[in-house]
Amino acid sequence: MLQDFAFVGIFVIVGTGLVALPLILNWLLAPKKPNKIKSETYECGMETVGETWVQFKAQYYIYALVFAIFDIETVFLFPWAVAYKQFGNIFPLLEMILFVLILAGGLIYVWRKGALEWA
Amino acid sequence: MNPVNDIFIIIANFLRTLLGAGGLHLADWFVELIMAVLRAALLGTFALLIFMILTWIERKVVARIQDRLGPNVAGPWGILLPIADGIKMIVKEDTVPAGADKAVFNLAPLVAAVAAMLVYAVIPFGPDTGHGALAGADLNIGIFYILAVGAVSLIAILMAGWSSNNKYALVGAFRAVAELLSYEVPQVLSITVVVMLAGTMQMTQIVQAQTVPFIFPLFATAIIFFISGVAESGRTPFDLVEAESEIVAGYHIEYSAMKFSMFFLGEFVHAFAVCAVFATVFLNGWEGPILPPYVWFLIKSGAIFFIMMWIRGTLPRFRIDQLMAFNWKFLVPLSLVNLLVVAVADTIVRTMLHFTPDGNPWVWGLILFAVNLVMLFIAFGLLGRGARRGIDDRRTITRLPEDKAAAPASAQAN
């Protein structure tokens, strides 16, 4: 099994090489004639106004926060899912129902709080 | 050993003998290292080739759907177009906007392409016939690895959007965070159901666990996985990240030449990876009569990709609030309910009715299929009601001033 993970490591290196090859070719072959107008920020011909890194909508942040909660909770479901068939009785089912109800409780709380509305 | 089915294993064994005891007498670990590098190169080349082929097929199919001819100049039926594109991309000037964060800006396309490629490491193209499965590596956490690696491309998009020094790119990156993160949740939850029935996370064993293709007992799961997979790869109708009519090109607006096409490579390779995972997990992977396993695998993945192209050719783009509402208010609750329903139904059918996946696979599968259909019917009914109510709400808000102005004179007199 350790060899299989080693393969993933090798694949990262080889894959990076394969992707980097055309990028390097492009860098070698392409003309390089930058000028002031060419390297301006592209906004369909309009000149850009003010700073780029502006304040953004807080809603994006809230979605990311809700995601973090859900993703961590669902990761706990995987060990249960692998072991589900090995029990052969009703016990793992009840355990899972309890867990999913807690998850659903979180979802309902977020929903009622209005965090899912794109206001 | 069948010379057609096991062609890759025969070649691998030949090379092993050539490098090891039969020829060059290299040390065992070194032979294995060379074999691993060759396998990695083969898989990577497969990903790049599939990108070239898919760009041509997609243009052709979408053109036909829209009643156009599509590419038809370069070579017969325009088949040389990907090569022409590649040459053009290599010799184009690469502009970097002033004020961009250069290191991150240059690294982002590389990360996007490599992250999409990494998924192919564990996808099984054929069965284990005693010489290891026909896959890069048959990890014991295979499907979990795919979920983990599939999320890395999000970081590349964020890097590109943030470093471009462009407001449109920044908005695209924010949308990417909102969309791709959100659709991760139903995807993970639907894979949980698959793992539950298969009892393993290893890709080859998930295929072998399918005594009946999982699309029947897990029909709703398959639909959830497919929708969230399309969203994850950022394709129409979920391509808000690069919505041309709103934010020009989104996160890759400032990119040109090869760096630009690396983002497209990432998108296509990721999309095909989603199709390959769908084929493995729901359509019994490489199993099939007469034809070799890897051909069956490619046929199944290709069929799923055709559905993706069909969706792209027909559906318009979502609005961002619709997109988020559809995920958090429909897909996530549905996948939670789906997890409960499948677990309960499976336990009842197996322990009380005594139809097991090993004993009576088709009876077991079709009973669960019926349960799935009922659940989907109720879910889509509720979705339709919710959608209609939403439309009514918006009408009452936005139409009030208009209605007053358009009201007849007699009503105004009162």
DSSP code string of B291-325? S-HHHHHHHHHHHHHHHHHHHHHHPPPPPHHHHHH
- pLDDT over 80 (residue A48): no
Report the distance separating Cα B25 and Cα B28, nearest Å: 9
- Residue A109: Cβ-neighbour burial (10 angstroms; 0-12, 13-18, 19+): exposed
Per the CB < 8 Å rule, is B182 touching A67? yes
- A105 contacts on B by Cβ (under 8 Å): none
Per the CB < 8 Å rule, is B258 touching A23? yes
- Sign of the C-alpha dihedral, residues B378, B381, B385, B390? positive
Per the CB < 8 Å rule, is A15 touching B44? yes
- What ipTM does this complex have? 0.88
Residue B276 · residue B301 · CB < 8 Å: yes
CB atoms within 10 A of CB B246: 15
Selection from B176, B185, B183 nearest residue B243 by Cα: B176
Per the CB < 8 Å rule, is A70 touching B195? no
pLDDT value at residue B277: 92
Report the distance separating Cα B228 and Cα B39, nearest Å: 30
In terms of pLDDT, which residue wins out, B47 or A117?
B47
Long-range CB contact pairs, B80-84, < 8 A, 24+ = B81/B55, B81/B56, B82/B52, B82/B53, B82/B55, B82/B56, B83/B52
CA distances in angstroms from B3 to B10, B16, B130, listed in the order given: 8, 17, 15
pTM exceeding the 0.90 threshold for the entire prediction: no
Report the distance separating Cα B171 and Cα B173, nearest Å: 5
pLDDT value at residue A76: 84
> Along the 414 residues of chain B, how does pLDDT read in single tens digits?
677 777 777 788 788 788 877 777 777 788 888 888 888 898 889 888 999 899 899 989 989 998 888 888 888 888 888 888 888 888 888 888 887 888 888 899 999 899 888 889 888 888 877 667 777 788 888 888 998 888 888 888 888 888 888 888 888 888 887 888 888 889 998 999 999 888 888 888 888 888 888 888 889 999 999 999 998 887 878 877 666 667 777 788 888 888 888 888 888 999 999 999 999 999 888 887 888 888 888 999 999 999 999 988 888 888 787 888 888 888 888 998 998 898 888 888 887 777 777 778 888 888 888 888 898 889 888 888 887 777 666 655 555 555 555 544 444 444
Tokens describing residue A25: 């070719």
- Sign of the C-alpha dihedral, residues B23, B26, B29, B33? negative
pLDDT value at residue B411: 43
The secondary structure of A28-63, three-state, reads HHCCCCCCCCCCCCCCCCCCCCCCCCCCCCHHHHHH
If you search the block for the tokens 């299989």, which residue do you land on? A4
Tokens describing residue B22: 């039969």
pLDDT value at residue B414: 41
- pLDDT over 80 (residue A16): yes
- Sign of the C-alpha dihedral, residues B163, B166, B172, B178? positive
B120 to chain A: closest CA residue: A11
Per the CB < 8 Å rule, is B343 touching A93? yes
Q: How many residues does chain A have?
A: 119
Side chain identity, residue B384: G
Would you tell me which residues 37-66 of chain B have a C-beta closer than 8 angstroms to some C-beta of chain A?
A: 37, 39-41, 43-45, 47-48
**In 3-state terms, chain A is what percent helix, strand and coil (to 5)?**
65, 0, 35
CB atoms within 10 A of CB B22: 10
A74 to chain B: closest CA residue: B189
Nearest CB among A7, A52, A89 relative to B170 is that of A52
DSSP helix/strand/coil, B195: helix
Tokens describing residue B232: 């994850």
Report the distance separating Cα A4 and Cα B32, nearest Å: 11
B interface test, pick of A32, A37, A41, A117 with most B CB neighbours within 10 Å: A41
Report the distance separating Cα B281 and Cα B284, nearest Å: 6
Tokens describing residue A7: 């393969």
What's the gap in Å between the CA of B112 and the closest CA on chain A?
10
- pLDDT over 80 (residue A70): yes
